[in-house]
Amino acid sequence: MPASHSPDRATAKALRLSGVTLDHRGGDGRPFRVLDIPDLTVPSGAHIGLRGPSGSGKTSLLHVIAGLIVPSTGTVSWGETELSALPAASRDRWRLETLGFVFQDFHLIPELDILANITLPASFSSWRVVRSEQERAAAIAARMGLVDLRRRTGVLSRGEQQRVAIARAVCRRPALILADEPTASLDAAHADEVGALLVDAANEAGATLICATHDAALLARLERRLDIETTSPLRELVA
Ligand SMILES: Nc1ncnc2c1ncn2[C@@H]1O[C@H](COP(=O)(O)OP(=O)(O)OP(=O)(O)O)[C@@H](O)[C@H]1O
């Protein structure tokens, strides 16, 4: 079995998208362009707020960066590594070692408890989750206001599930954190706390953080904002 992954070793690198387009097919089978990003560089360790109306392509962009969707054209690079050219298994490994992703619909396993969901990525790279990973998961859960770690996530409220999803994404101190509407299911007080925690977690790890969000308080915590425009059919990311 592989040695236990040491997330402390991951370091943020520059993220570069070049000539990236993404086309989807509409109901009539005809392609339409969702993303058109001639050139975008996100410096290592930057904190970016990604804004745009519903349907403008925010989720699509995060999934392209994560390598969960292969773009129609163009390249996505992390440092010297061209992610979009890697075979699927290598991209999976890169994700495991480098990325924390807060999915819009959380992607939790409802039958597993809070602790098991938070330590799930650790369980993929080691035959058992070591005590230090469990302690870190418990500490981050406590900071998220999640107290009973033995509760199955299937019975949690949406807000609680969202906090578990965020705890899972930041627990291993990934070098890149992508968060899709990470505060959307939270009340204002929790949103503020969790937004601060997300930014703190990125700072502590020196991680690059990209949040798709409409949350003004969270946007205010992020140093730079990117807008996805929808005024023309060809959508461009404007720095
Ligand atoms: N697999 C797919 N097949 C066809 N169209 C898709 C697919 N995935 C996304 N789309 C379309 O691409 C466009 C962008 O979707 P996306 O989810 O990226 O937007 P978004 O800005 O994240 O929206 P929201 O803020 O509502 O979550 C939408 O018109 C959506 O319907």
| Ligand 1 centroid to residue 34 C-alpha, Å | 8
216 in a domain, yes or no? yes
User: In this structure, how many other beta carbons lie within 10 angstroms of the beta carbon of residue 172?
Assistant: 27
| Ligand 1 centroid to residue 239 C-alpha, Å | 21
| Ligand 1 centroid to residue 59 C-alpha, Å | 7
Residue type, 93: R
82 in a domain, yes or no? no
Which secondary-structure segment (H or E) carries 17? Answer: strand 15-25
Report the CATH number at residue 190: 3.40.50.300
ipTM surpassing 0.90: yes
DSSP-assigned states of every residue in 174-197: -SEEEEESTTTTS-HHHHHHHHHH
How many distinct structural domains can be found in the chain?
Answer: 1
99 in a domain, yes or no? yes
Please identify, by atom number, the ligand 1 atom nearest to the C-alpha of residue 214: 25
Q: What is the pLDDT of residue 228?
A: 84
83 in a domain, yes or no? no
Q: What is the pLDDT of residue 3?
A: 37
| 129 neighbors 123 (Cβ within 8 angstroms) | yes
Q: What is the pLDDT of residue 126?
A: 64
66 in a domain, yes or no? no
76 in a domain, yes or no? no
Q: What is the pLDDT of residue 44?
A: 92
31 lines ligand 1 (CB under 6 A): no
Q: What is the pLDDT along the chain (239 residues), one digit of tens a residue?
A: 333 444 445 688 999 999 999 999 989 999 889 999 988 999 999 999 999 888 889 999 999 999 999 999 999 999 999 998 999 999 999 998 999 999 998 999 999 999 999 998 777 666 666 788 889 999 999 988 898 999 999 999 998 999 999 999 999 899 999 999 999 988 898 899 889 989 998 998 899 999 999 999 999 999 888 888 754 444 555 55
118 in a domain, yes or no? yes
Residue 171 structural domain: 46-56+88-238
